[in-house]
Amino acid sequence: MNCAAEQRDRGFSLMELMIAVALGLMLLGAATQLFKIGLTTSALVSNRTEMQQNVRAALDLVSKDISMAGAGLPPGGLQLPVGGGSSSRFACDQTGTCYLAANKYASGTVGSSPATTINNYMFGIMPGSNNGMQSGGPSSIASTGKVPDSITTVYVDFAFQINLFNATFSDVNGSQLILNAPSPMPATLLPATDPGTGIKVGDLLMITTSAGTVIGEVTIVSPLNTTGATVTFANLDALNFNQSSAASNNIKSVVVGGSYPPLGNPLPTVTVYRVLAISYFIQVPASGIPRLMRQVNGNPPQPVADNIVDLQFSYDLCDTGNTGGTCATTIDPLAINQSPTQIHKVNISLMGQSLVTNGKDSQSMLLSSAVSTRNLTFKDRYK
Protein backbone atom coordinates (compact mmCIF):
# COMPACT_ATOMS: atom_id res chain seq x y z
CA MET A 1 0.00 0.00 0.00
CA ASN A 2 2.81 2.40 0.85
CA CYS A 3 4.57 1.78 -2.49
CA ALA A 4 1.35 2.46 -4.40
CA ALA A 5 0.83 5.72 -2.50
CA GLU A 6 4.34 6.88 -3.23
CA GLN A 7 3.84 6.24 -6.95
CA ARG A 8 0.63 8.28 -6.93
CA ASP A 9 2.41 11.26 -5.21
CA ARG A 10 5.31 11.49 -7.67
CA GLY A 11 3.59 14.34 -9.77
CA PHE A 12 4.45 15.20 -13.41
CA SER A 13 7.21 13.53 -15.25
CA LEU A 14 10.02 15.55 -16.80
CA MET A 15 8.57 14.99 -20.27
CA GLU A 16 5.18 16.26 -19.16
CA LEU A 17 6.76 19.32 -17.56
CA MET A 18 8.75 20.13 -20.72
CA ILE A 19 5.63 19.82 -22.86
CA ALA A 20 3.69 22.09 -20.49
CA VAL A 21 6.46 24.70 -20.49
CA ALA A 22 6.70 24.58 -24.29
CA LEU A 23 2.96 25.06 -24.66
CA GLY A 24 3.06 27.93 -22.17
CA LEU A 25 5.88 29.63 -24.05
CA MET A 26 4.02 29.23 -27.30
CA LEU A 27 0.93 30.84 -25.81
CA LEU A 28 3.01 33.62 -24.23
CA GLY A 29 4.79 34.23 -27.54
CA ALA A 30 1.49 34.40 -29.39
CA ALA A 31 0.08 36.81 -26.82
CA THR A 32 3.24 38.96 -27.04
CA GLN A 33 3.04 39.02 -30.83
CA LEU A 34 -0.62 40.03 -30.70
CA PHE A 35 0.23 42.76 -28.19
CA LYS A 36 3.07 44.01 -30.43
CA ILE A 37 0.79 44.03 -33.47
CA GLY A 38 -1.79 45.96 -31.46
CA LEU A 39 0.80 48.54 -30.40
CA THR A 40 2.10 48.88 -33.96
CA THR A 41 -1.40 49.28 -35.35
CA SER A 42 -2.24 51.82 -32.69
CA ALA A 43 0.94 53.78 -33.47
CA LEU A 44 0.19 53.67 -37.21
CA VAL A 45 -3.37 54.89 -36.66
CA SER A 46 -2.13 57.61 -34.31
CA ASN A 47 0.57 58.71 -36.78
CA ARG A 48 -1.89 58.70 -39.65
CA THR A 49 -4.42 60.71 -37.65
CA GLU A 50 -1.79 63.28 -36.70
CA MET A 51 -0.54 63.43 -40.28
CA GLN A 52 -4.06 63.90 -41.59
CA GLN A 53 -4.73 66.68 -39.09
CA ASN A 54 -1.48 68.44 -40.07
CA VAL A 55 -2.15 68.22 -43.80
CA ARG A 56 -5.81 69.23 -43.51
CA ALA A 57 -5.03 72.19 -41.26
CA ALA A 58 -2.28 73.34 -43.64
CA LEU A 59 -4.52 72.91 -46.69
CA ASP A 60 -7.33 74.85 -45.02
CA LEU A 61 -5.03 77.78 -44.21
CA VAL A 62 -3.52 77.89 -47.71
CA SER A 63 -7.00 77.70 -49.25
CA LYS A 64 -8.28 80.52 -47.07
CA ASP A 65 -5.46 82.87 -48.08
CA ILE A 66 -5.88 81.99 -51.77
CA SER A 67 -9.63 82.62 -51.58
CA MET A 68 -8.90 86.13 -50.26
CA ALA A 69 -6.29 86.97 -52.93
CA GLY A 70 -6.86 90.40 -54.45
CA ALA A 71 -9.51 91.49 -51.91
CA GLY A 72 -9.36 95.26 -51.43
CA LEU A 73 -6.64 95.85 -54.02
CA PRO A 74 -7.29 98.10 -57.03
CA PRO A 75 -8.79 96.19 -59.99
CA GLY A 76 -6.09 94.12 -61.68
CA GLY A 77 -3.48 94.72 -58.99
CA LEU A 78 -1.22 97.60 -58.05
CA GLN A 79 1.77 99.29 -59.69
CA LEU A 80 4.67 99.56 -57.24
CA PRO A 81 7.45 102.19 -57.44
CA VAL A 82 9.26 102.37 -60.77
CA GLY A 83 12.42 104.23 -61.72
CA GLY A 84 15.22 105.18 -59.35
CA GLY A 85 15.27 101.96 -57.32
CA SER A 86 15.40 98.20 -57.54
CA SER A 87 12.31 96.02 -57.48
CA SER A 88 10.20 95.52 -54.38
CA ARG A 89 10.41 92.16 -52.60
CA PHE A 90 8.28 89.64 -50.75
CA ALA A 91 9.24 86.75 -48.43
CA CYS A 92 11.94 88.78 -46.66
CA ASP A 93 12.17 89.90 -43.01
CA GLN A 94 13.65 92.86 -41.14
CA THR A 95 17.07 91.21 -40.78
CA GLY A 96 17.48 91.29 -44.56
CA THR A 97 16.96 87.53 -44.87
CA CYS A 98 15.00 86.53 -47.97
CA TYR A 99 13.49 83.06 -47.90
CA LEU A 100 12.80 82.48 -51.59
CA ALA A 101 15.25 82.58 -54.47
CA ALA A 102 12.76 84.41 -56.68
CA ASN A 103 11.24 87.12 -54.48
CA LYS A 104 10.63 90.11 -56.77
CA TYR A 105 7.25 91.40 -57.87
CA ALA A 106 6.29 90.75 -61.47
CA SER A 107 8.12 92.27 -64.41
CA GLY A 108 7.91 91.29 -68.07
CA THR A 109 5.14 91.04 -70.64
CA VAL A 110 1.59 89.79 -70.18
CA GLY A 111 -1.22 89.30 -72.63
CA SER A 112 -1.20 89.66 -76.39
CA SER A 113 -2.83 91.82 -79.06
CA PRO A 114 -1.66 94.08 -77.60
CA ALA A 115 0.91 92.84 -75.07
CA THR A 116 1.33 94.82 -71.86
CA THR A 117 4.74 95.48 -70.34
CA ILE A 118 4.80 95.37 -66.53
CA ASN A 119 7.54 96.35 -64.11
CA ASN A 120 7.49 95.83 -60.34
CA TYR A 121 3.79 94.99 -60.39
CA MET A 122 1.78 93.52 -57.50
CA PHE A 123 -0.87 90.98 -58.48
CA GLY A 124 -3.30 89.41 -56.04
CA ILE A 125 -1.65 86.04 -56.72
CA MET A 126 2.07 85.63 -57.40
CA PRO A 127 2.77 82.07 -58.65
CA GLY A 128 6.10 80.50 -57.69
CA SER A 129 6.65 77.39 -59.82
CA ASN A 130 9.70 75.37 -58.61
CA ASN A 131 10.42 78.16 -56.12
CA GLY A 132 9.18 76.52 -52.94
CA MET A 133 12.39 75.59 -51.10
CA GLN A 134 13.80 78.04 -48.55
CA SER A 135 16.98 79.70 -49.79
CA GLY A 136 20.19 78.43 -48.23
CA GLY A 137 18.84 74.93 -47.62
CA PRO A 138 18.42 71.79 -49.74
CA SER A 139 17.32 72.29 -53.33
CA SER A 140 14.65 69.57 -53.12
CA ILE A 141 12.84 67.33 -50.62
CA ALA A 142 14.98 64.26 -49.84
CA SER A 143 12.08 61.84 -49.37
CA THR A 144 10.41 62.71 -52.69
CA GLY A 145 13.23 64.13 -54.79
CA LYS A 146 10.83 66.87 -55.91
CA VAL A 147 11.09 70.64 -55.88
CA PRO A 148 7.93 72.17 -54.37
CA ASP A 149 6.18 75.33 -55.53
CA SER A 150 5.57 78.51 -53.58
CA ILE A 151 2.71 80.95 -53.78
CA THR A 152 2.28 84.54 -52.59
CA THR A 153 -1.19 86.00 -52.10
CA VAL A 154 -1.94 89.66 -51.44
CA TYR A 155 -5.11 91.11 -49.94
CA VAL A 156 -6.31 93.82 -47.58
CA ASP A 157 -6.62 93.03 -43.88
CA PHE A 158 -10.21 94.14 -43.30
CA ALA A 159 -10.19 92.71 -39.75
CA PHE A 160 -7.97 95.61 -38.61
CA GLN A 161 -10.03 98.74 -39.29
CA ILE A 162 -7.18 101.18 -39.65
CA ASN A 163 -9.19 102.88 -42.42
CA LEU A 164 -11.40 104.42 -39.69
CA PHE A 165 -8.47 106.48 -38.38
CA ASN A 166 -8.05 110.07 -39.60
CA ALA A 167 -4.83 109.96 -41.62
CA THR A 168 -2.66 112.93 -42.67
CA PHE A 169 0.88 113.27 -44.01
CA SER A 170 3.27 115.29 -41.90
CA ASP A 171 5.51 116.31 -44.83
CA VAL A 172 5.40 116.77 -48.58
CA ASN A 173 7.58 113.70 -49.17
CA GLY A 174 5.12 111.40 -47.44
CA SER A 175 7.81 109.95 -45.20
CA GLN A 176 5.56 110.12 -42.14
CA LEU A 177 1.87 109.43 -41.62
CA ILE A 178 -0.17 110.63 -38.64
CA LEU A 179 -3.11 108.45 -37.58
CA ASN A 180 -5.65 109.94 -35.18
CA ALA A 181 -8.50 107.85 -33.87
CA PRO A 182 -12.00 109.06 -34.75
CA SER A 183 -13.99 110.84 -32.07
CA PRO A 184 -15.94 109.21 -30.62
CA MET A 185 -13.90 106.05 -31.04
CA PRO A 186 -16.02 102.95 -31.78
CA ALA A 187 -15.92 100.34 -29.02
CA THR A 188 -14.77 97.71 -31.51
CA LEU A 189 -11.87 99.82 -32.82
CA LEU A 190 -8.52 98.86 -31.26
CA PRO A 191 -5.65 101.34 -30.78
CA ALA A 192 -3.46 101.69 -33.86
CA THR A 193 -0.48 100.20 -31.97
CA ASP A 194 -2.39 97.43 -30.18
CA PRO A 195 0.22 94.76 -29.24
CA GLY A 196 -1.84 91.96 -30.71
CA THR A 197 -3.23 93.26 -33.98
CA GLY A 198 -1.92 96.81 -34.34
CA ILE A 199 0.62 98.27 -36.77
CA LYS A 200 4.13 96.83 -36.50
CA VAL A 201 7.45 97.39 -38.20
CA GLY A 202 7.43 95.39 -41.42
CA ASP A 203 3.70 95.90 -42.10
CA LEU A 204 2.58 97.04 -45.53
CA LEU A 205 0.11 99.95 -45.62
CA MET A 206 -1.93 100.80 -48.71
CA ILE A 207 -2.47 104.57 -48.91
CA THR A 208 -5.09 106.15 -51.15
CA THR A 209 -5.57 109.86 -51.92
CA SER A 210 -7.15 111.71 -54.83
CA ALA A 211 -3.78 111.32 -56.59
CA GLY A 212 -3.76 107.51 -56.54
CA THR A 213 -2.99 104.42 -54.48
CA VAL A 214 0.46 103.29 -53.31
CA ILE A 215 1.99 100.94 -50.73
CA GLY A 216 4.67 101.63 -48.14
CA GLU A 217 6.48 99.50 -45.56
CA VAL A 218 6.41 100.60 -41.92
CA THR A 219 9.94 101.19 -40.59
CA ILE A 220 9.06 103.01 -37.34
CA VAL A 221 5.77 103.13 -35.46
CA SER A 222 5.11 105.14 -32.30
CA PRO A 223 1.92 105.49 -30.22
CA LEU A 224 0.10 108.81 -30.50
CA ASN A 225 -2.36 109.96 -27.83
CA THR A 226 -2.77 106.34 -26.61
CA THR A 227 -5.02 105.37 -29.54
CA GLY A 228 -3.36 106.74 -32.68
CA ALA A 229 0.08 106.32 -34.19
CA THR A 230 2.91 108.07 -35.97
CA VAL A 231 4.13 105.85 -38.80
CA THR A 232 7.43 106.39 -40.61
CA PHE A 233 8.30 105.10 -44.10
CA ALA A 234 12.10 105.34 -44.36
CA ASN A 235 14.10 104.40 -47.43
CA LEU A 236 16.12 101.17 -47.54
CA ASP A 237 13.26 99.27 -45.95
CA ALA A 238 13.53 95.47 -45.95
CA LEU A 239 10.96 94.98 -48.74
CA ASN A 240 12.09 98.02 -50.78
CA PHE A 241 8.72 99.74 -51.06
CA ASN A 242 9.76 103.17 -49.69
CA GLN A 243 11.63 104.53 -52.70
CA SER A 244 11.46 108.31 -52.33
CA SER A 245 13.63 108.75 -55.44
CA ALA A 246 11.39 106.61 -57.65
CA ALA A 247 9.93 108.31 -60.70
CA SER A 248 6.36 107.31 -59.86
CA ASN A 249 4.08 105.19 -57.69
CA ASN A 250 5.94 105.87 -54.44
CA ILE A 251 4.31 107.48 -51.39
CA LYS A 252 5.56 110.94 -52.40
CA SER A 253 3.54 110.71 -55.62
CA VAL A 254 0.19 110.68 -53.81
CA VAL A 255 0.86 113.55 -51.38
CA VAL A 256 -1.60 116.27 -52.40
CA GLY A 257 -0.58 119.95 -52.26
CA GLY A 258 2.68 121.80 -52.81
CA SER A 259 3.17 122.59 -49.13
CA TYR A 260 1.93 120.33 -46.41
CA PRO A 261 -0.55 120.63 -44.86
CA PRO A 262 -2.03 122.92 -47.56
CA LEU A 263 -2.59 126.27 -45.89
CA GLY A 264 -6.12 127.60 -45.88
CA ASN A 265 -7.57 124.42 -47.34
CA PRO A 266 -9.14 121.35 -45.74
CA LEU A 267 -6.76 118.47 -45.34
CA PRO A 268 -7.09 116.08 -48.28
CA THR A 269 -8.70 112.71 -47.62
CA VAL A 270 -6.15 109.98 -46.94
CA THR A 271 -7.41 106.40 -46.56
CA VAL A 272 -5.17 103.69 -45.14
CA TYR A 273 -5.51 99.91 -45.11
CA ARG A 274 -3.09 97.23 -43.99
CA VAL A 275 -2.14 94.83 -46.78
CA LEU A 276 -1.10 91.21 -46.19
CA ALA A 277 1.45 89.74 -48.61
CA ILE A 278 1.59 86.07 -47.58
CA SER A 279 4.10 83.55 -48.94
CA TYR A 280 4.03 79.76 -48.49
CA PHE A 281 7.12 77.60 -48.95
CA ILE A 282 8.94 74.55 -47.53
CA GLN A 283 11.73 74.83 -44.96
CA VAL A 284 14.12 72.03 -43.97
CA PRO A 285 15.51 72.94 -40.51
CA ALA A 286 18.47 71.30 -38.73
CA SER A 287 16.21 68.44 -37.61
CA GLY A 288 15.82 67.42 -41.26
CA ILE A 289 12.03 67.30 -40.99
CA PRO A 290 10.54 69.49 -43.77
CA ARG A 291 7.75 71.83 -42.75
CA LEU A 292 5.39 74.28 -44.39
CA MET A 293 6.12 77.92 -43.59
CA ARG A 294 3.90 80.99 -43.82
CA GLN A 295 5.56 84.40 -44.08
CA VAL A 296 3.59 87.66 -43.83
CA ASN A 297 4.88 91.03 -45.08
CA GLY A 298 8.30 91.80 -43.57
CA ASN A 299 7.90 89.56 -40.53
CA PRO A 300 9.76 86.30 -39.76
CA PRO A 301 8.10 83.19 -41.24
CA GLN A 302 6.08 80.91 -38.95
CA PRO A 303 5.70 77.11 -39.24
CA VAL A 304 2.26 75.85 -40.26
CA ALA A 305 2.70 72.06 -40.27
CA ASP A 306 5.57 69.58 -39.87
CA ASN A 307 6.54 66.84 -42.32
CA ILE A 308 5.02 68.48 -45.38
CA VAL A 309 7.06 66.89 -48.16
CA ASP A 310 5.47 68.41 -51.26
CA LEU A 311 3.51 71.50 -52.28
CA GLN A 312 2.33 71.96 -55.86
CA PHE A 313 0.07 74.50 -57.57
CA SER A 314 -1.52 74.81 -60.98
CA TYR A 315 -3.88 77.47 -62.29
CA ASP A 316 -7.07 77.51 -64.35
CA LEU A 317 -6.99 80.36 -66.88
CA CYS A 318 -9.54 78.96 -69.33
CA ASP A 319 -11.83 81.53 -70.95
CA THR A 320 -13.02 82.44 -74.45
CA GLY A 321 -9.60 83.83 -75.31
CA ASN A 322 -7.60 81.01 -73.77
CA THR A 323 -8.81 77.54 -74.64
CA GLY A 324 -5.58 75.56 -74.96
CA GLY A 325 -5.29 72.00 -73.72
CA THR A 326 -3.41 73.03 -70.58
CA CYS A 327 -5.37 76.21 -69.79
CA ALA A 328 -6.94 74.49 -66.75
CA THR A 329 -3.62 73.27 -65.37
CA THR A 330 -1.18 76.07 -66.19
CA ILE A 331 1.92 75.75 -64.02
CA ASP A 332 3.20 79.32 -64.26
CA PRO A 333 1.01 81.94 -65.98
CA LEU A 334 3.71 84.61 -66.00
CA ALA A 335 6.16 82.27 -67.77
CA ILE A 336 3.81 82.12 -70.77
CA ASN A 337 2.91 85.83 -70.67
CA GLN A 338 -0.47 85.20 -69.08
CA SER A 339 -1.66 87.65 -66.43
CA PRO A 340 -2.44 86.28 -62.95
CA THR A 341 -5.53 88.49 -63.03
CA GLN A 342 -7.10 85.86 -65.30
CA ILE A 343 -6.76 83.03 -62.77
CA HIS A 344 -10.20 81.54 -62.14
CA LYS A 345 -9.18 78.64 -59.94
CA VAL A 346 -6.08 77.45 -58.08
CA ASN A 347 -5.41 73.71 -57.85
CA ILE A 348 -3.49 72.73 -54.70
CA SER A 349 -1.68 69.46 -53.93
CA LEU A 350 -0.20 69.06 -50.46
CA MET A 351 1.62 65.90 -49.32
CA GLY A 352 2.36 65.05 -45.70
CA GLN A 353 4.36 62.23 -44.17
CA SER A 354 3.82 60.56 -40.79
CA LEU A 355 6.22 61.47 -38.00
CA VAL A 356 8.18 58.23 -37.43
CA THR A 357 11.80 57.42 -36.60
CA ASN A 358 14.17 56.49 -39.44
CA GLY A 359 11.29 56.29 -41.89
CA LYS A 360 10.19 52.82 -40.73
CA ASP A 361 6.46 52.28 -41.17
CA SER A 362 6.28 55.77 -42.66
CA GLN A 363 3.01 56.75 -44.31
CA SER A 364 2.28 59.49 -46.80
CA MET A 365 -0.94 61.29 -47.58
CA LEU A 366 -1.68 63.51 -50.56
CA LEU A 367 -4.62 65.90 -50.28
CA SER A 368 -5.78 68.02 -53.19
CA SER A 369 -8.18 70.93 -53.38
CA ALA A 370 -9.33 73.51 -55.90
CA VAL A 371 -10.06 77.06 -54.77
CA SER A 372 -12.08 79.43 -56.90
CA THR A 373 -10.55 82.88 -56.64
CA ARG A 374 -12.52 86.07 -56.45
CA ASN A 375 -12.57 87.88 -59.78
CA LEU A 376 -9.16 89.52 -59.62
CA THR A 377 -10.18 92.15 -62.19
CA PHE A 378 -13.51 93.01 -60.53
CA LYS A 379 -14.41 96.67 -60.03
CA ASP A 380 -17.27 97.67 -57.74
CA ARG A 381 -19.21 100.28 -59.75
CA TYR A 382 -21.43 101.10 -56.78
CA LYS A 383 -18.62 101.88 -54.32
Q: In terms of C-beta density within 10 A (0-12 exposed, 13-18 middle, 19 or more buried), how is residue 347 classed? A: middle
Which amino acid belongs to residue 329? T
Q: Which residues neighbour 48 within 8 Å (Cβ) at sequence distance 6 or greater? A: 354, 363, 365
Whether the predicted model's global pTM rises above the 0.75 cut: yes
Q: Which residues neighbour 371 within 8 Å (Cβ) at sequence distance 6 or greater? A: 63, 66, 67, 345, 346, 348
How far from 337 is each of 53, 328, 341, 347, CA to CA, in Å? Answer: 38, 16, 12, 19
- CB neighbourhood size of 171 (10 A): 13
pLDDT the model gives residue 183: 87
pLDDT the model gives residue 14: 75
> What one-character-per-residue DSSP string does 208-263 give?
EETTEEEEEE-SEEEEETTTEEEEE--SS-TT----TT-SBSSGGGG--SSSSSPT
Q: What is the pLDDT along the chain (383 residues), one digit of tens a residue?
A: 555 555 555 666 778 778 878 888 888 888 887 877 766 666 666 666 777 888 889 999 999 999 999 999 998 899 999 987 789 999 999 999 999 999 999 999 987 778 889 999 999 999 999 999 999 999 999 888 999 999 999 999 999 999 999 999 988 889 999 999 998 989 889 999 999 999 999 999 999 999 999 999 999 999 998 899 999 999 999 999 999 999 999 999 999 875 566 666 666 789 999 999 999 999 999 888 899 999 999 999 999 998 899 999 999 998 877 777 788 899 999 998 889 998 999 999 999 887 655 456 677 888 999 999 876 654 443 33
Q: Where are the domains of the chain?
A: 47-372
Q: Residue 189 belongs to what H/E stretch?
A: none
Q: Are 274 and 164 in contact (CB under 8 A)?
A: no
